[in-house]
């Protein structure tokens, strides 16, 4: 099991590569900062308030969430969280993002990093879907010169797994399972 921490970022492990890429972008006049966008969606047969109740109960993530297995901290804007992530490729990552937005029962966003080098914004947005359903949009936008060197390939699969587990948890709770 490979363990990665945001305390040993790419910039810390490969400062020469990041500096070289930054210098090349500056010298060539390249104003485009690399980015990667991940976007997943799932329909859940429950109202947004019920989905939100489980999504916002971060203390229970270990019981149902195969991707964000630990999310410790208060979900209030400006608070720092401590996350443990189990990626589908076997990597275990520990990060400490800040809560950027908490708008119940609509949006939860956390993120962090160093803008221009490596920055991520992770969003859960809940939309009413029909009379009693919810469409969860689970996405992340990464940007910065270190993006081409970061291991981001397994994230979408992880988000899809989390979405399916959230759906099962919410719909199972709604049906008394």
- C-alpha 78/C-alpha 89 separation (Å) is 31
Of 29-33, 153-157, 170-174, the range with the lowest mean pLDDT is 29-33
Q: What pLDDT does 8 receive? A: 44
Residue 105 CB partners (closer than 8 Å, separation 6+): 48, 49, 51, 52, 53, 126
Long-range interactions of 26-34: CB distance < 8 A, separation 24+? 33/116, 33/143, 33/144, 33/145, 34/143, 34/144, 34/145, 34/147, 34/148
> Does residue 11 contact residue 114 with C-beta atoms inside 8 Å?
yes
| Segment 156-170 mean pLDDT | 98
Q: What pLDDT does 177 receive? A: 55
> Does residue 70 contact residue 85 with C-beta atoms inside 8 Å?
no
Reported as a single tens digit per residue, the pLDDT across 120-139 is: 999 999 999 999 999 999 99
Confirm or reject CATH 3.30.1490.20 for domain 3-174, answering yes or no: no
What average pLDDT is seen over the chain?
88
| Segment 55-78 mean pLDDT | 97
Token output for 177? 């399972």
Residue 123 CB partners (closer than 8 Å, separation 6+): 107, 108, 109, 137, 138, 139, 140
- C-alpha 75/C-alpha 81 separation (Å) is 8
Q: What pairs with residue 42 in β-bridges?
A: 136
Chain Cα centroid distance, residue 7 = 17
Burial of 173: CB neighbours in 10 Å, binned 0-12, 13-18, 19+: middle
Q: What pLDDT does 30 receive? A: 54
């Amino acid at each position: 099991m490979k363990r990665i921490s945001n305390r040993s970022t790419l910039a810390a492990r490969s400062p020469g590569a990041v500096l070289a890429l930054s210098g090349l972008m500056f010298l060539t006049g390249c104003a485009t900062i690399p980015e990667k966008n991940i976007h997943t969606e799932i329909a859940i047969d429950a109202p947004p308030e019920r989905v939100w109740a489980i999504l916002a109960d971060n203390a229970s993530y270990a019981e149902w969430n195969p991707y964000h297995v630990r999310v410790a901290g208060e979900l209030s804007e400006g608070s720092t969280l401590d996350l443990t992530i189990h990626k589908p490729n076997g990597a275990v990552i520990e990060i400490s993002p800040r809560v950027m937005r908490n708008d119940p029962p609509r949006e939860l966003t956390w993120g962090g990093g160093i803008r221009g080098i490596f920055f991520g914004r992770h969003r859960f947005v809940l939309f009413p879907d029909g009379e009693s359903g919810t469409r969860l949009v689970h996405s992340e936008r990464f940007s910065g010169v270190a993006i081409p060197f970061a291991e981001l390939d397994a994230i979408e699969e992880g988000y899809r797994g989390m979405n399916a587990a959230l759906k099962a948890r919410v719909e199972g709770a709604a049906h008394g399972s």
